[in-house]
């Protein structure tokens, strides 16, 4: 089929574009050992990066199973050795005949826990056929939805008799994730006369315009990387893409509101446990000064946890918070500080000055279209223009792996002592 006019990426035949796929399987493990006005954008120079040969880039992810399932119905207590089918919420197909489960509820009272063994390979994801009370344990009675009842059973391995045949193999598929590269572009224009005019504020108007344009572009990219929404569209008859920012990719459970906008140590400890449940043992927190002040006040009034001021990371001053769960390196984010909280009609509202992102930098990668990383363009002016038009252009986005390792904490207006 003939194509008239300028060819763009939407003109290729269906499936002609191979797009870009990362063949590496990323594995999310439990906690592992392990500047400027736009700090996240500045850090792209230090973080992992990879070019892409298509504006749509893909990667694969696979998590590590918790090896526990939640009951979906009550447990009765038959005689030990009875074969019984249990109703569970989901996840049965991850197990096989021979796997052994322990009823967790006994742990909270220090009692002996029942063991049960999978009797046959599951055929549905919501039921397990098991032998109750194996290994000399006593079958338990459990009201799965009762107050204070732990509804989970956890796999504690498997056991097979001598001379047994090999059990059924179980495997797990990775999930496909993707994002778009976004074209960022900022320019400046100066007349020939303006370039020749000596100014009191800056004798080199051209150099100042170039510096300022690059600075604004960095801030624009920063906000897009944090708050952009994944979308495609058309403008002037050509494709336009919007890269997905971190905020709009996070699950609701990873967006945590501070209770009554006042941070107390009980909630802060809970937040820290969530932050370091998965991923790296050291993460970066980028937020506003109001949020940092709330954390400092909370810690100072409640505990002896250590906050280290004026540390340096990648040439930028940071604050480090050390706790039993991991280490947070806190960057005061200038763009967040430009968006302070306030009051309207005598009622407080909270903005980014009282918020912070917690990022696992091991799981963030800078992606750019091959040959189209941020670069300078000159001679953009119309023919005959008495002056210059120049600027910067780039096509890029972020690959944010394992979203469960990243968080957004908001409404941190102040800190207080626990009562």
Please give the Cα distance from 419 to 415 (Å, whole number): 12
Please give the Cα distance from 400 to 305 (Å, whole number): 30
Please give the Cα distance from 32 to 327 (Å, whole number): 12
Tell me the C-alpha to C-alpha distance, in Å, between residue 31 and each of 157, 283, 291, 321: 22, 11, 25, 17
Closest CA relative to residue 358, chosen from 265, 417, 276? 276
Report pTM: 0.82
For the chain, domain boundaries: 1-65+175-419, 68-158
Average confidence score pLDDT of the chain? 88
Contact in structure between 316 and 39 (CB atoms under 8 Å): yes
Q: Does pLDDT of 37 surpass 80? A: no
Please give the Cα distance from 129 to 93 (Å, whole number): 12
Closest CA relative to residue 28, chosen from 409, 254, 360? 360
Q: Does pLDDT of 9 surpass 70? A: no
Q: Does pLDDT of 14 surpass 90? A: no
Please give the Cα distance from 75 to 396 (Å, whole number): 53
Q: Does pLDDT of 54 surpass 70? A: yes
In this structure, are strands 316-323 and 347-349 parallel, antiparallel, or unpaired?
unpaired
Closest CA relative to residue 37, chosen from 229, 205, 223? 223
Letter string b/e over residues 235-268, b meaning 16 or more CB atoms within 10 A of that residue's CB: eeeeeebbbbbbbebbeeebebebeebbbbbebb
Which element (helix H / strand E) includes 290?
helix 289-302
- For residue range 212-261, what is the model confidence (pLDDT) as tens digits? 899 899 999 999 999 999 999 999 999 999 999 999 999 999 999 999 99
Which element (helix H / strand E) includes 269?
helix 265-275
Q: What are phi and psi of 355, to 5 degrees?
A: -135, 165
Helices (H), 156-262: 192-196, 205-227
Task: Please give the pLDDT value at position 220.
Answer: 94
Task: Please give the pLDDT value at position 6.
Answer: 54
Task: Please give the pLDDT value at position 49.
Answer: 87
Q: Does pLDDT of 166 surpass 80? A: yes
- For residue range 373-411, what is the model confidence (pLDDT) as tens digits? 999 999 888 888 888 999 999 999 999 999 999 999 999
Report the percent of the chain where pLDDT is more than 90: 65
**Model confidence band, residue 185 (pLDDT cutoffs 50, 70, 90):** very high
Instruction: Give one DSSP letter per residue of 81-114, joined into a string.
Output: T-EEEEEBSS-GGG--TTEEEEEGGGGGGT----
């Amino acid at each position: 089929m003939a194509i008239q006019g300028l060819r763009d990426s939407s003109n290729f035949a269906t499936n002609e574009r191979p797009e870009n796929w990362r063949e590496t399987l990323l594995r999310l493990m439990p906690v592992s050992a392990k500047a400027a006005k736009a700090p996240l954008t500045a850090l792209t120079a230090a973080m992992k990066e990879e070019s892409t040969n298509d504006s749509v880039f893909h990667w694969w992810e696979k998590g590590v199973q918790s090896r526990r399932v939640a009951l979906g119905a009550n447990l009765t207590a038959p005689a030990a050795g009875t074969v019984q089918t249990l109703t569970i919420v989901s996840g049965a197909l991850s197990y096989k005949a021979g796997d052994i489960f322990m009823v967790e509820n006994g742990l909270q009272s220090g009692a002996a826990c029942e063991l049960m063994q999978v009797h046959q390979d599951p055929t549905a994801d919501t039921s397990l056929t098991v032998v109750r009370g194996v290994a000399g344990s006593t079958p338990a009675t459990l009201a799965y939805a009762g107050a204070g009842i732990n509804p989970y059973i956890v796999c504690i391995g498997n056991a097979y008799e001598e001379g047994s045949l090999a059990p059924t193999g179980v495997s797990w598929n990775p999930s496909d994730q993707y994002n778009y590269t976004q074209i960022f572009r900022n320019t400046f224009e100066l007349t020939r006369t303006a370039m020749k005019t000596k100014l009191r504020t800056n004798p080199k108007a051209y150099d100042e315009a170039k510096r300022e344009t690059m600075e604004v572009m960095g801030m624009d990219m920063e906000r897009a990387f944090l708050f952009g929404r994944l979308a495609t569209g058309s403008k002037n008859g050509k494709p336009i893409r919007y890269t997905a920012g971190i905020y709009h990719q996070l699950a609701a459970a990873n967006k945590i509101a501070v209770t009554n906008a006042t941070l107390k140590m009980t909630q802060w400890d809970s937040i820290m446990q969530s932050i370091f449940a998965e991923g790296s043992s050291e993460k970066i927190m980028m937020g506003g000064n109001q949020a940092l002040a709330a954390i400092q006040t909370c810690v100072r009034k409640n505990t002896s946890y250590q906050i280290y001021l004026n540390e340096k990371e990648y040439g930028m001053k940071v604050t480090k918070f050390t706790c039993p769960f991991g280490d947070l390196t806190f960057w005061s984010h200038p763009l967040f500080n430009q968006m302070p909280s306030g009051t309207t009609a005598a009622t407080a509202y909270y903005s980014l000055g009282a918020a912070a992102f917690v990022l696992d930098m091991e799981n963030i990668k800078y992606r750019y279209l091959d040959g189209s990383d941020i670069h300078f363009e000159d001679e953009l002016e119309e023919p005959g223009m008495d002056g210059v038009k120049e600027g910067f252009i780039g096509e890029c986005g972020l690959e944010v792996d394992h979203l469960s390792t990243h968080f957004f904490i908001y409404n941190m207006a102040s800190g207080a002592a626990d009562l």
